[in-house]
Amino acid sequence: MKKALILIVMVVFSLVAVSASFAKPAKCPQPRKTKSAPGSIAKKDKTAKANAKNGKAIYMKKAKPMACKMCHGVKGDGGGKLGGALKPAPRNFACKATMKKVSAGQMFHIIKNGSKGTGMVGHKKTLKDKEIWDVVKYIRSTFVK
């Protein structure tokens, strides 16, 4: 009897763990809590000379305190492991309807300074400007279609 109970508890726990690791994509169109960058920055775009490959390494692994994929997901759709737990949800870069309002400069500004009142932290101290443009290029060339 006791053994059966332990087994049931174990099965339930593993199911919960499995479902949590398959976070769903965020909504599309998606509301944005993030404020607009100042116009002069929003219009900047230095992705032409940026390195998308280095951007990928940052997105998938190197970013501190956490890889971008943990929230924004490996597919960039906001379906990262932690994404489902966040309110507002992480940006869904694969959502065209929402991303057409988000310029490269806007992304640069938020990645650098963070977005107040959301889980998006600034990376001013951990990424150089050049590295931020690399990750902007990776996201825009890979997920934003």
Q: Can you give the binding site for ligand HEC, defined by CB under 6 A?
A: 32-34, 63, 66, 68, 70-72, 82, 86, 88, 90-91, 102, 106-107, 110-111, 115, 118-120, 123, 135
- Residue closer to ligand HEC by CB (options 13, 29) is 29
Residue 32 · residue 91 · CB < 8 Å? yes
Residue 94 · residue 102 · CB < 8 Å? no
- Residue closer to ligand HEC by CB (options 50, 120) is 120
> Taking phi first (over 0 means left), then psi (-120 to 50 degrees means alpha), and beta for anything else, what does residue 2 get?
alpha
Minimum separation from the CB atom of position 112 to ligand HEC (A): 10
Minimum separation from the CB atom of position 49 to ligand HEC (A): 18
Q: Please choose, from the candidates 35, 134, 138, 34, the residue with its C-alpha nearest in 3D space to the C-alpha of residue 90.
A: 34
- Residue closer to ligand HEC by CB (options 8, 85) is 85
- Residue closer to ligand HEC by CB (options 14, 61) is 61
Minimum separation from the CB atom of position 25 to ligand HEC (A): 14
Sign of the dihedral through C-alpha 51, 57, 63, 69: positive
Single-letter amino acid, residue 88: P
Minimum separation from the CB atom of position 3 to ligand HEC (A): 40
Residue 33 · residue 117 · CB < 8 Å? yes
